Amino acid sequence: MDEKTAAGGTPSHAGGCFFCDSAMPMLESLVSEATRDHFRNSRVEFLKGLRGLLDERIAHLAREEAKGTHVTVE
């Protein structure tokens, strides 16, 4: 007997995960399109926030430091 069938001959493990195959379709049928749009937009905004943090850090690291000091001669 291979690991895909149980003693009764029924599959003991489907190809995908339980959450993706069973729970997500059920949850998606319970929420409205407006709610899905809200969560999709929130994911986009979260990623934009991460991009902002990365851009600031890159700018900080790319900034050239002054080499030497400025002296005024009279």
Query: Which letter, b or e, does each residue of 25-54 get, where b requires 16 or more Cβ atoms within 10 Å of its Cβ?
Result: eeeeeeeeeeeeeeeeeeeeeeeeeeeeee
In a domain, 39, yes or no: yes
Percent of the chain with pLDDT over 90: 35
In a domain, 50, yes or no: yes
- Amino acid in the structure at residue 52: G
In a domain, 24, yes or no: no
* pTM, two decimal places: 0.50
Q: Any bridge partners for residue 11, and if so which?
A: 5
In a domain, 15, yes or no: no
Q: Which tens digit of pLDDT belongs to each residue from 12-43?
A: 445 678 888 888 888 888 888 998 899 899 99
**Domain residue limits at 42:** 32-63
Three-state secondary-structure class, residue 20: helix
In a domain, 12, yes or no: no
**What does the mean pLDDT of the chain come to?**
80
Q: What is the mean pLDDT of residues 41-64?
A: 94
In a domain, 46, yes or no: yes
What total of structural domains would you count in the chain?
1
